Amino acid sequence: MPEDHNQLREIAALLASQKLCVLATADEGVPYTSIVAFAETADLHRLLFVTTRQTRKFRNISGNSNVALLIDNRTNTEEDLHNAAAVTAAGTVQEIDKDAQPECSSVFLDKHPYLQDFLAAPTTALVALDVRSYIWVDHFQHVVQYDLPA
């Protein structure tokens, strides 16, 4: 199997094993990060998360749709120096109408059923990151970029 398919399989496994990630946004060039619950679509072309519309992260993505999500498997132990892996998903975000795209809501709730009430709240936005690329890092030195086909 080609190297990029092996890498994509590693990325898929990491995404499936984690429930939280770090969202990186910016407002007028000032970076901001926050922890969000996420879910991935089966084809890995979209990562979904939810947030209240009154948050700084939502204000930032409303003004600048270019974001990144960092997903990693850290355990905060010494072994992380040898075993930790992380992937950065980069792309653009858009709010998804929860009623118009029930499949996105379903994908998110399959991974996070305990967030059903939060997702259903009228103040909550369902957001999709349309992934352009994944950047995989392991052993703190091995870096591979995987660009998704358009």
Own/partner pairs, 72-77, CB within 8 angstroms, 24+ separation: 72/14, 72/18, 73/14, 73/17, 73/18
Confidence of residue 97 (pLDDT cuts 50, 70, 90): confident
CATH of region 3-147, choose from 1.25.40.80, 3.30.1540.20, 2.30.110.10, 3.30.420.130: 2.30.110.10
For the chain, domain boundaries:
3-147
pTM over 0.85: yes
Q: What radius of gyration, in Å, describes the C-alpha atoms of the chain?
A: 15
Q: What is the percentage of the chain residues whose pLDDT exceeds 70?
A: 96
